[in-house]
Amino acid sequence: MIWVSKRTLVAEDLYQLKSVADPQLASNGQDLVYIQTAIDEKKNDYVSNIYYMNVEEESDPVQWTFGTERNFSPRWSPCGEKVAFVSTRSGKGQIYILHKKGGEARQLTSIAHGVSNPVWSPDGKQIAFTTGLKPGEELSEKEEKSEENPKLLKPLVVEKMKYKSDAAGFLDEKVKQVAIVNVESGEVQLITSGNADIHLQSWSPDGNTLAVSADLSEDADFSFINDFFLLDIKTKELRKVTEGTGYFGSASFSPDGKYIGLFGHEREFKNATLTKLWIYDVEGETLSCLTEGTDLLVGDLAIGDFHQGVVTPGVLWGENSTSFYFLATDHGNTVLYYGSVEGELYPALLDKQHVYGATTGGQVNQAVVAISKPTEPGELYLLDVPTGDLKQLTNVNKEFLEEVVLAEVEEIEFTSTDDWQLHGWIMKPASFKEGEKYPCILEIHGGPHAMYANTYFHEFQMLAAAGYAVLFINPRGSHGYGQSFVDAVRGDYGGRDYADLMDAVDFALKKFDFIDENKLGVTGGSYGGFMTNWIVGHTNRFKAAVTQRSISNWISFYGVSDIGYYFNEWQIKAELEDLETLWKHSPLAYVKRIETPLLILHSEKDYRCPIEQAEQLYIALKHRKKETKFVRFPESNHELSRSGKPNLRIERLNHILGWFKEYIQ
């Protein structure tokens, strides 16, 4: 037998990895479909297809769709014989129908602006979906062709403050509307209208009502709510359930139609408010919060840079209509929780992991969960709830894991200098040897209201493979540690959050003698980019830094970011007139102090943290003869590191590694 050692990971291994997500169990609890996404290197794009398997049989998954397009959002019909899904194979996303017994996928819709989010009616005869329409526009199967010369440029006329979005770019007049298509005839009926986005969620068991959410405020520029409504399909009337004071969604009916489970909050702490679990009693018309008085954060707020097509489920009801499951974010993990309308709440799957998807098929005793860990990119497992046993269903990254050595992580917990409990991880170099010293990179997540977790992170593994230790923690402002913890950063950017990170470095240097204190680096994106900028303006302990999609100037951020005019008020707690406070918290104000070689990475079409933030910082540094370099990524937005063009994601990773290699010997 010949023993072959594993090689270390490189950035380009991203091309080998496959992502499995959005598992969906049929009502029989056996038939499972899910999405598998890979990178087509020749196309320089992502390809996603639907796979099927029977969870009770010891057989390999069967690929149901093929080609080099995207096939996603598979949803079982109530009888479990058909699957509706969305595909881009004909251009814009349209609904197709596949039969479990086989055969070609049948295209059901041909809507001009494309469709998303298919939701079956309880009798399986209709499917509701979402499409984009301009106010007053009819539902059309053909997009009208303009007779104007396409080479003629036209100005963008702006009259609203919310006129751009990082994900969508400059917004047109289209808003999301809900329509219904007959599965047999293909006849389509528009159900909603107006000037506001209507978000489709679920269909009532009696077939008469759709659960939707929307912000119907008259002045949308100054409204940041999302109300929950019941939409009568026959009359098309909306009945508002919530009070116009919070943000609600992810609504799902219990099988008997008596209850609706939903996620939401009353915005008590603006965007730092914990999402809670609510139950609406349909007959009694009462809404109650099941997680009130707890510090439990409902949903998946873990940050990663790998998974594609992830869909966080809402309330997953059991067949008894009183029990359910949902995901929650807790102390560096995401957990599958059990709950009941009587108020029971406890974890059904609690481990050091990132559960990034779940489905039950309406069962109480089992679930299929998507799980990632630091050394496991992500696979699907069958969970036996009573015993807690997990059976692995997929093994899509087997060849990669057999070939490449991945670095393990060690959790750390320590007390800050002002007596707050902090939590994080240290990742040793992949080729770690006792007695040797290694450079260490401090990684800082974005948000700031997000959470590093026990999940696979390609960037971290690349750094560890290159011989670096990686230190990452959840400083105050992070999710997963209670309401007081996540709210503590607001109005204090660059204060105790900065101190938490420096405390983490001090703790790591004291605890881990393999870290070379003279070879430290720091990097982060978005809020993590802001904090990287802040750090190098307040200490010279780092030998090199890489700032990504960052913020450098809160004064200009106010007017250039798609969220700036309200984010400043919520997070910095300063209006535009308070220039002193905005400037005090701006890293650009401290540029004269920066001595650390700083690499600036930014996307050209980042509307969340616009590239002018990087431009200001770069010119200020160069004007003062500081060591810096500016890398601009074309046709990319704020999500470059997670879902950008694959070749640019690889370029980004190699620029990070190259900078640290150059300045940390």
Strand 389-392 relative to strand 376-384, pairing:
antiparallel
Burial degree of 514 (CB within 10 A; 0-12, 13-18, 19+): middle
**3-state DSSP call for residue 592?**
helix
Tokens of 10: 């490189």
DSSP reduced 3-state for 558: helix
Q: How far is CA 3 from CA 37, 57, 428, 536, in A?
A: 32, 33, 24, 46
Q: Phi and psi (nearest 5°) for 399?
A: -65, -40
Sequence-separated contacts (24+) of 100-106 with Cβ below 8 Å: 100/31, 100/52, 105/65
Asked if 41 contacts 15 with a C-beta cutoff of 8 angstroms, the reply is yes
**CA distance readout (Å), 614 to 284, 305, 446, 574:** 54, 22, 16, 22
Q: Please report, for the chain, how many H helices and E strands are present, in that order.
A: 11, 41
Q: Which residues contact 120 (CB under 8 A, 6 or more apart)?
A: 75, 76, 77, 78, 84, 126, 127, 203
Amino acid identity of residue 341, one-letter, is V
Question: Which residues is 335 bridged to in the sheet?
Answer: 328
538 labelled catalytic: no
Beta carbons within 10 angstroms of residue 231's beta carbon: 23
Given 449, 585, 638, 655, which residue is catalytic? 638
372 is catalytic: no
- Which residues is 200 bridged to in the sheet? 212
Q: How far apart are the first and last CA of the chain?
A: 39
Query: Catalytic residue among 213, 526, 586, 641, which?
Result: 526
- The residue type of 371 is I
In this structure, which amino acid lies at residue 372? S
> Alpha-carbon dihedral of residues 142, 146, 151, 152, nearest 10 degrees?
-150
Please give the Cα distance from 474 to 423 (Å, whole number).
Answer: 6
Largest Cα–Cα distance in the chain? Answer: 74
Please, are residues 60 and 394 in contact by the beta-carbon 8 Å criterion?
A: no
Decide: helix, strand or coil at residue 145.
Answer: coil
Nearest to 593 by CA among 636, 648, 535: 535
Which residues are tagged catalytic?
526, 638
